[in-house]
Amino acid sequence: MKDFSTGMKAKLKVITAISHRAKLLLLDEPTSGLDVVARDELLDLLAGKISLSLGPEGLVVTRVGE
């Protein structure tokens, strides 16, 4: 893990949180410090997971206005 990029570390954190199958995910600025590509990939991952019918409810707090 020490060789992971910032984006890879952020994805790992989110995947770890999702893997616990919590019914509620509260994520405070999960894309902080990421470049545009990594941010978009992570937000797509979150949107896909949260929107699944059996997935968790989610709240993502971010300053990104897009």
> Six-digit token pair at 36?
């545009």
pTM, entire model? 0.60
CA torsion 52-25-27-48 (nearest 10°) is -10
Per-residue pLDDT in tens (0 to 9) along the chain, 66 residues = 789 988 888 888 877 877 777 777 777 787 888 888 888 888 887 777 666 544 556 655 666 655
Q: Are 28 and 14 in contact (CB under 8 A)?
A: no
Q: Show Cβ contacts of residue 58 under 8 Å, excluding neighbours closer than 6 positions.
A: 24, 25, 26, 27, 46, 49, 50
